[in-house]
Structure formats: structure tokens, C-alpha cells
């Protein structure tokens, strides 16, 4: 009775450990073949040399049993070698196919995540161009390149210019502000407290608007 695709046993996945095991078996077979070739060389014959003399009698100058055993074993081992090479090729094919499928899945998931972020993340209205070491902005964790989507009460809906941010900063000295930025394609929430420090201003960073 013909088996349907649903009833067919699935081909087991190959792992790198499986490939290493098969290669080890191949190497062992090759060592055995070479050992039996050495036997034939010691006897002064190869795979094809005649084992009878000119009169048709078995040669007395060689070990006939040792030679025939070596020849037969070499033939069997060569068949085993061909079979193991086929197994290695199939295992490598499965391994490469699995790695290719994994890369495809990872790339698809990355694209889907990027598309989802583009849909869910609000547009940034300003970008941090520089952060001075030791400043309140630096201590809070603000980084150069952060794209601002929320700065206290300022958001994409009410932002008009950097003066909006400057106004919030001036009225929030000593008070923590919630700042949300896009960093590496993901949201990062920062608690930033404008305050006096050794440098100029209350933040120690430069924020420029992003043209719309």
C-alpha cells in the first residue's frame, strides 16, 4: 500500500555533531583501507597481481590467505566508504538547508519587527547632537544620536521649535523630566533633571529639531 505524505516518517535533521561523527567514520575506514594496502605491498602484490604461477599452480612465494583476505576486505571497505560519503553529502545538504531556512526566518522576523516599530513608534521631532561628559544629560544616560519623541510635556503633536524644550527645561530646574527617545530602533525612557553644573546651561547637551 502506498504511503501518503502524512504517513511518511520525516527525515531526521542533521546536526554538526552528526557530520563530525560521519567524517570520523570515513577517516577510520580510510585508515583501514590503507592498512590492508600495506599488507598487499608487504607481499609485493597489488589488487590485480596474479596469485598463480606460470604453470597455473598457487604461488608459493606469497601468503595467499593474507592476500585474498586483504583484497576482499578492501573491496568491502571501499563500498562502505562510498556509502559513508553519500551520508556525509546528505547530512551537509540538510545542515546547509536548515541554516539557510534559519537565516531566512531570522531575516523575516527582523523585517517584521522593523515594520512593526515603524508603525508603532511615533515620529521623532528632535535629535541629540552632542552630550557633554559629566553633564546632567550625560549622567541621566542621554546619548549622542538619540531621537526625541517625548521631552516632558513636549511631544510630536505640540512641538513647534526647540524653544518648546527650552521652556520646559527652564521651568523644571531641579525636577525630573520624563524623556523618551528612539535608540537603535527601540524606545528608551530617561529621567532627566535639569540643574546647575560646572558647565553652561541646565542640561549639557545640544538638541536640534528634525525637519518634517
* pLDDT (tens digit per residue) in 96-108: 888 888 898 888 8
0.75 surpassed by pTM: no
Residue 34 C-alpha cell reads as 590503507
* pLDDT (tens digit per residue) in 185-196: 888 999 999 999
Arithmetic mean of pLDDT, 149-164: 94
Taking the domains of the chain in order of start, what are their residue ranges?
16-120, 126-209
126-209 has which fold? Pdz3 Domain (2.30.42)
What pLDDT was estimated at residue 2?
Answer: 45
Amino acid at each position: 500500500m502506498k504511503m501518503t505524505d502524512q504517513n511518511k516518517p520525516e527525515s531526521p535533521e542533521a546536526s554538526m555533531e552528526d557530520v563530525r561523527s560521519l567524517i570520523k567514520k570515513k577517516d577510520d575506514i580510510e585508515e583501514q583501507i590503507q592498512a590492508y594496502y600495506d599488507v598487499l605491498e608487504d607481499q609485493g602484490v597489488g589488487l590485480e597481481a596474479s596469485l598463480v604461477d606460470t604453470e597455473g599452480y598457487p604461488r608459493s612465494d606469497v601468503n595467499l590467505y593474507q592476500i585474498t583476505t586483504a583484497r576482499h576486505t578492501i573491496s568491502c571497505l571501499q563500498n562502505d566508504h562510498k556509502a559513508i560519503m553519500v551520508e556525509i553529502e546528505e547530512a551537509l545538504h540538510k545542515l546547509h538547508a536548515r541554516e539557510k531556512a534559519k537565516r531566512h526566518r531570522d531575516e523575516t522576523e527582523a523585517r517584521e519587527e522593523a515594520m512593526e516599530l515603524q508603525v508603532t513608534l511615533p515620529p521623532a521631532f528632535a535629535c541629540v547632537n552632542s552630550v557633554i561628559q559629566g553633564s546632567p544629560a550625560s549622567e541621566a544616560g542621554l546619548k549622542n544620536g538619540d531621537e526625541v519623541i517625548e521631552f516632558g510635556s513636549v511631544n510630536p503633536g505640540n512641538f513647534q521649535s526647540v524653544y518648546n524644550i527650552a521652556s520646559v527645561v527652564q521651568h523644571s530646574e531641579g525636577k525630573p523630566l520624563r524623556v523618551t527617545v528612539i535608540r537603535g530602533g527601540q524606545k528608551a525612557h530617561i529621567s532627566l533633571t535639569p540643574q546647575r553644573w560646572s558647565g553652561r546651561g541646565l542640561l549639557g547637551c545640544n538638541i536640534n529639531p528634525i525637519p518634517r
